[in-house]
Structure 1
Amino acid sequence: MNGNSDSNIMVSVNCVTFNHKNYIRQALDSFLMQKTNFEFEILVHDDASTDGTGEILREYEKRYPGKVLPLIQTENQYSQGIDNISGAFNFPRARGKYIFMCDGDDYWVSPDKMQKQVDYMEAHPECTLCIHSAKIDLVGKAVTEGQMRPYCGNKVLSPEDIVDKSSGYAMSSMAFPSRIVKELPDYYVECPVGDTPIQMIAASEGYGYYFDEPMSAYRVGVAGSWTVEGKSGDYEKKQSVYYERMKKVYDLYDAATGGRLREAIRSAEKRTYYHTMVNTRQFKEILNPEYRKYYKELTSRTRFFIQLEYRFPGVYGFLRKKYHG
């Protein structure tokens, strides 16, 4: 990696895609519409898509030579056990001073997003994570919030805020200095999701900043996505495995940071466990007073449906069947 590169590239956009034929054009166009006073490159990793995504990427590569730089696999890497595609394939080829994240089924909505985040990080070199709110673009039927808005108002984020957060950050909002992922720690490789360990690295290296402005969109319900695929098969077992892997990640992170963020780490680990209980509807644990802090963090809508299912399972089942068909 060339963190402070000898090129004139300021930003490397990191995009990971798999079978996103219906969405990848919007993602690429949203990157290309950015109004900046600097150069940027678009690094796209296609994990051997079978729906024609690769052909679209080749089309954009020809239209924007040297700008859109796809890496199109012939064999699916995720199925080979590589969870964090970005760290394995895109980060090492990034030439920019900063890396911006966005999966191929998400997109940006503000043409000034990149410039705003770069301006902040250039003015505040100690900032190692710059994020913002995101609107939710729903695919199909689901009960969800209208946006990912972890905070009300612009906010400086302490390392503890980043590690022990009550609400997730949209990956499509994330930007950070490329130098922090030049050498990836063990907990990054062990993590089953790609955005969480980046946030951990950022928290260990500096602080964060949040713009309370929805400058990107997060699609919910896309077929083949990590979230949708995770709900197939033995969901309870998958959630249990996920928690055990995350527990290991948190332990490794605690060791890597010398215990200075231990209180935040343990709270985050406990929250992860609690959310797997919510996801698998283990009501004894969900309503356990020990986890009241995390219960109160759930949205009012989520709490309503938990109580409805727990107290009136027949009514809940009827309404769910009627809504989902």
Structure 2
Amino acid sequence: MEAETVMASINCVTFNHVNYIRKALDSFLMQKTDFAFEILVHDDASTDGTSEIIREYEAKYPGRVRPLIQKENQYSQGIDNISGAFNFPRARGKYIFMCDGDDYFLSPDKLQRQVDYMEAHPDCTLCIHSARIDLVGKALTESQMRPYRKSRVIPPEEIIDKSSGYAMSSMAFPARLVKELPDYYVDCPVGDTPLQLLAAANGYGYYMDEPMSAYRVGVAGSWTVEGKSGDYEGKQSAYYRRMKRTYEQFDRATGGRFHQAAESAALRTYFHTMVNTKKFDEIYNPAYRRYYRELTPRTRFFLRFERSMPGAYKMARKAFTGR
């Protein structure tokens, strides 16, 4: 597979996903395209057999599945954004598609449709779609990530300051965006937000209102699950401080072009950490009414339930989730 023939690079970051990695890789390989694509898999020194499965696929699909298997865990050494450090530099495609090893694609036409749109609209720097939520275990969650109710263009200000998150497994963007990574990407504690900021700084987005991928919720060892262990409030506070710094760095890097959007996005992050840690005085503070109204009806219901009847809420939650 020659470098110049590769149109798309699928970026897959995995760690201890032995129960999920086959489904992810198979969903990549089922893609029907009129162009060549590659699958870049970064395994962060898994200890559960994930690495062996990846090597099996590499042997079966040489040149198509291109793994980088670490001997030492890089995340534990302070490298938050594995994709930017290890996968983006070796991507040969014109476009990069994101999907962690515990998520997967649903539509065999996903790559083709997103590439077709970006090829026809060269100023589009982020192409996304809705995603089905695949729940592992029990949790109180929505059934899908659907930030908008119809296919539409997303202005850059809205990519920055959005009321609902975008599924990582839906994201596709031109590889040129990540040839040189700014400080706000490198310093950010999560990988999807700085990619979205990069896209906003260089163009606009497009949303396809169709669930062409799945996002697993509740996977042991995932960033979200690990974040809830130990000193949760301390972790949430640290997360907000780092995200606030990310938005400030972005604001400076873009010369204040998106100052209002960046400021609002940082404030929304603060509000969501208050929701996560159940700081009800802040949740119901009139200053954050805009962000409260953005919460789903289900989330608002459970917040009111817990605030007014904490004992009954605790019993109901334990009966449903076991926690």
* TM-score interval, normalised by the smaller of the two chains: over 0.9
In structure 2, give the amino acid aligned to 1:80.
Answer: Q
Mapping of residues 86-125 of structure 1, within 5 Å: 86-125=83-122
- Provide the secondary structure at the position in 2 that maps to 1:34: coil
Matched, 1:132 2:129: yes
Write out per-residue CA displacement over residues 158-189 of structure 1, whole angstroms, 9 at most, x where no aligned residue. Answer: 00010000000000000000001000000001
Aligned to 1:233: 230
- 1:93 CA displacement: 0.1
**CA shift at 1:7, angstroms?**
1.9
Residue from 138, 145, 150 that aligns with 2:142: 145
* Counterpart residue number, 2:37: 40
Counterpart among 231, 240, 244 of residue 241 in structure 2: 244
Tell me if 1:60 matches 2:51.
Answer: no
Secondary structure of 1:210's aligned partner: strand
Q: What is the rounded CA distance, in whole Å, between the counterparts of 2:243 and 2:76 in structure 1?
A: 19
Distance in 2, Cα, partners of 1:320 & 1:12:
42
Name stretches of at least 5 consecutive residues in structure 2 with no aligned partner: none
**In structure 1, what is the equivalent of residue 274 of structure 2?**
277
Can you list the C-alpha shifts for 1:280-307, whole angstroms capped at 9, x where unaligned? 0000000001100000000101000100
Count of residues in correspondence between the two structures: 321
**Partner deviation per Cα, 1:47-79 (whole Å, 9 max, x = no partner):** 000000000000000000000000000000000
- Residue 25 of structure 2 is matched in structure 1 by 28
Aligned residue for 1:7, secondary structure, equals helix
The equivalences for 1:190-205 within 5 A come to 190-205=187-202
The 1-side partners of 2:154 and 2:254 are apart by 18
1:119-174: per-residue Cα shift (whole Å, max 9, x none)? 00000000000000000000000011000000000010100010000000000000
CA distance in 2, matches of 1:55, 1:321: 37
Q: Distance in 1 between matches of 2:205 and 2:63?
A: 31
| Residues 197-251 of structure 1 deviation map (CA, whole Å, 9 limit, x = unaligned) | 0000000000000000000000000000000000000000000000000111111
Shift of 1:6: 5.0
Output the TM-score relative to the length of structure 2. Answer: 0.99
Partner of 1:318: 315
Instruction: Identify the residue that residue 263 of structure 2 maps to in structure 1.
Output: 266
Question: For residue 212 of structure 1, what is the aligned residue in structure 2?
Answer: 209
Is residue 2:181 matched to residue 1:184?
A: yes
1:288 pairs with one of 275, 285, 288: 285
Counterpart CA distance in 1 for 2:314 and 2:216 is: 26
Q: Please list the CA deviations of residues 77-118 of structure 1 after superposition, one character each: whole Å capped at 9, or x if unmatched.
A: 000000000000000000000000000000000000000000
SS of equivalent residue, structure 2 residue 181? coil
Match of 2:4, SS state, is coil
Partners of 1:80 and 1:234 in 2: CA distance = 20
Runs of 4+ in 1 over 4 A off after TM superposition: none
1:317 is paired with a residue whose SS is helix
Give the TM-score normalised by the residue count of structure 1.
0.98
Aligned to 1:73: 70
Give the whole-Å Cα distance in 1 for the aligned partners of 2:148 and 2:3: 37
Equivalent-residue separation in structure 2 for 1:253 and 1:318 (angstroms): 43
Cα distance in 1 for residues equivalent to 2:261 and 2:149: 21
Match of 1:170 in 2: 167
Give the 3-state SS of the residue equivalent to 1:271 in structure 2. Answer: helix
Give 1:317 deviation, angstroms.
1.3
> Shift of residue 324 of structure 1?
2.5
Q: 2:99 and 2:321 mapped to 1: Cα distance? A: 29
Distance 1:278 1:215 in 2: 29
Over the residues paired in the alignment, what is the CA RMSD in angstroms?
A: 0.7
The residue type equivalent to 2:203 in the other structure is: G
